[in-house]
Amino acid sequence: MSPLFTVEEGEVIMDLEGQMEVFLRGTAEVISPEELKEKLVRADREGRPLRIKLGVDPSAPDIHLGHTVPLRKMRQLQELGHQIIFLVGDFTGRIGDPTGRSETRKQLSEEQIKENAKSYTAQVFKILDPEKTVVEYNSHWLALLTFAEVVQLAAKTTVARMLERDDFAKRFAENRPIGVHEFFYPLMQGYDSVALRADVEMGGTDQKFNLLMGRQLQRDYGQEPQICLMLPILEGIDGVQKMSKSLGNHIGIDDPPADMYGKTMAIPDELMLKYFELVTDVPMAEIRSLAEGIKEGKVHPRDAKMRLAREIVTLYHGAQAAAEAEEAFKAVFQQGELPEDIPEVKLPPEVIDEDGRVWIVRLLTALELCASSSEARRLIGQGAVSIDNVRQTDPELRVKPHPGLLVRVGKRRFARVE
């Protein structure tokens, strides 16, 4: 029996087409499917798994569902018996990926990177099997390169090639500064693939330039070029922007079950099927059937979204927590009840003005209902904030606080003034 085309659980043989279906599920672009098929056949003949790489710079300590899209793909391929390499960019993280940046990214200290990496890897193993995952750090080879070797690496591409990147080209045209060190980022990411002899590298569609650099450098170093497996960018619960903690449109994998459930219920209906495909284990045949049911009016979008919320909460907190979160959601949002466990928060004296009032933006951040003043202003402008059950839309409002003052943001976030 072939060691590659076998799934361990139940010893179920999976043929080449079955593997290709798993590889291609939810992908936005693959360079190239034909090469991937050839690699699978050759690896099977040689009795070895493919070496599949995902690199992550620990620029922030928290993982949200947007981050899990490639991680979940890695888990699917891990279950097929392939060698999964989770690469922590502790060296590249010192520069920071310039992809999509309109200005030079602030460099992180070594201490920040180590702390973020520790938190990040702990969360990653909520998705990946730690027993079957190789964790590497790219400082192990990048930090050892001599200056002569760095020059040799830089000589393998041109400034013109670097300026093909949209972000660099735009900054150059607008006369915005581009640090020379930023040109080294795609070279370092590409060299990671050389050092690891990667068969496949995974990343978001925004990583295409960096992934292709890996293919180019592998050829230059006499290796067979890797397959670039690109996954779509997941929009946040606002349905517009890329999921991001700074935008307040994220669903964190460490969010409490009730928050995770409620946030999922807030996503636009048109994003449901994308979420089903990218962040759940629901089989594609079932997702297609669900889509058809919604289209024909046989399945209510609300019921489909509740199924989605249950699936997501179950993945990270278990079935019982998902059931409890659903009951709490029904009580609050379908029956008009308030949650029983509304947190009571004492306002710090410094947020209160001389006349005993507090600026509504500071009130929301002090109660930890908004992560930033900009998020608070945005939600107030959207009419998502109410105080003592009265909707507020003026971001300059001064509120007279009193014990028991009820503040609500959106459909899920509540707090009372202690």
When the pLDDT of each residue in the chain is averaged and rounded to a whole number, the result is 86
Is it the case that residue 357 has pLDDT exceeding 90? no
Ordered DSSP codes for 270-308: GGHHHHHHHHS---HHHHHHHHHHHHTTSS-HHHHHHHH
Cβ pair 88, 58 in contact under 8 A? yes
SS3 of residue 414 by DSSP: strand
Contact 387, 400 (CB under 8 A): no
Could you tell me if residue 26 is left (phi over 0), alpha (psi between -120 and 50 degrees) or otherwise beta?
left
**Cα separation, 253 vs 128, whole angstroms:** 13
Residue 2's pLDDT is 46
pLDDT at 106: 60
Residue 7 has pLDDT above 50, yes or no: no
Is the distance from CB of 217 to CB of 194 less than 8 angstroms? yes
The model's confidence at residue 8, banded by pLDDT at 50, 70 and 90, is very low
What is the rounded radius of gyration, in angstroms, for the C-alpha atoms of the chain? 24
What global pTM score does this model have? 0.72
- Model pLDDT, residue 408: 86
Confidence of residue 166 (pLDDT cuts 50, 70, 90): confident
Average pLDDT (200-214) is 93
Average pLDDT over residues 208-223: 95
Using the predicted structure, report yes or no on whether residue 11 has a pLDDT greater than 60: no
Cα 19 from Cα 52, distance rounded (Å): 14
Tell me the residue length of the chain. 418
The 10s digit of each residue's pLDDT in 254-302 is: 888 988 998 898 888 889 999 999 999 899 899 999 999 999 989 998 8
Q: How many CB atoms lie within 10 A of CB 388?
A: 12
Asked if residues 184 and 105 have their Cβ atoms less than 8 Å apart, the reply is no
Return the structure tokens found at 256: 């409490």
Query: So what's the pLDDT on residue 246?
Result: 66
**pLDDT tens for residues 225-236?**
999 999 998 998
Is residue 102's pLDDT more than 50? no
How much is the pLDDT for 38? 94
Q: What is the pLDDT of residue 60?
A: 64
Would you state the structure tokens that stand for residue 225, as one six-digit string?
């070029």
- Residue % of the chain over a pLDDT of 90: 40
pLDDT at residue 160 above 90? no
CA distance 42 to 354: 75
Residue with tokens 């509540």: 414
**pLDDT category, 10, cuts 50, 70, 90?**
very low
Which residue, chain included where needed, has tokens 């006349």?
355
Kindly give the interhelix angle for 301-317 and 257-265, rounded to the nearest 10 degrees: 150
* H or E segment and range at residue 42: helix 33-46
- Torsion over CA of 191, 196, 202 and 205, rounded to 10 degrees? 0
**b/e burial code for range 246-273 (CB count within 10 A of at least 16 → b):** ebbbbbbbebebbbbbbbbbbbeeebbb
Average pLDDT score over residue span 135-156 = 93
The Cα angle at residue 77 between residues 76 and 82, in degrees rounded to 5: 150
* Predicted confidence (pLDDT) per residue in 65-84, tens digit: 988 999 999 999 999 999 99
Indicate if the pLDDT at residue 217 is higher than 80.
Answer: yes
Q: Which residues on adjacent β-strands are paired with residue 408?
A: 386, 414
Helix and strand totals (H; E) in the chain: 17, 15
